[in-house]
Structure 1
Amino acid sequence: MTTPSLEQIALLLGIAGFGCFAWPIMMRLSGKGQAEPLGSGKSLRSPLWWTGFLLTIAAIFLQRIASQEGG
């Protein structure tokens, strides 16, 4: 069993972060979720949005480290 590289970890974190952003949108488009009122800012306060944001930042950070180590 091999240890995953930083690039692979960054890719997985990026996919998970994108999933956190896309999940509420896909639920609303499929009719299973309801949209919040316009201008409420509720989506920016959701834990899922912040999780996606932090996972995306972590993925970018790890990718930058991996590219510096490879060069």
Structure 2
Amino acid sequence: MAFTPETLGQIALLLGIAGLGCLVWPIVMRLSGKGQAEPLGSGKSLRSPRWWAGFLLTIAAVFLQRIASQQAG
């Protein structure tokens, strides 16, 4: 199943939006006072599983976008 560059670009955009949402969510929760209070300097303050999922989704979006741009050109 081959995807067109436009389809890959749209999938990359969706993955990027989902990844950004996952990355930002722990920060928003902490700023609103609903997040977990980790001690400062513990190294785990914002590294929740959701943060890591967002990080991986964002990396996947970047690679898909690169593939789409190589196929288009």
TM-score (norm 1): 0.84
Q: Which amino acid aligns with 2:68?
A: A
Match of 2:51 in 1: 49
Q: Which amino acid aligns with 1:70?
A: A
In structure 2, stretches of 5+ residues that fail to align are none
TM-score (norm 2): 0.81
Alignment of 1:5-16 (within 5 A): 5-16=7-18
Structure 1 runs (4+) deviating above 3 angstroms are none
Deviation at residue 34 of structure 1 after TM alignment: 3.5
Q: Over aligned residue pairs, what C-alpha RMSD do you find?
A: 1.7
Deviation at residue 51 of structure 1 after TM alignment: 0.4
Q: Percent identity?
A: 79
Deviation per residue, 1:31-61 (Å, 9 max, x gap): 22233211111133x2112101110110000
Which protein is richer in helix relative to its size? 1
Q: 2:52 and 2:32 mapped to 1: Cα distance?
A: 23
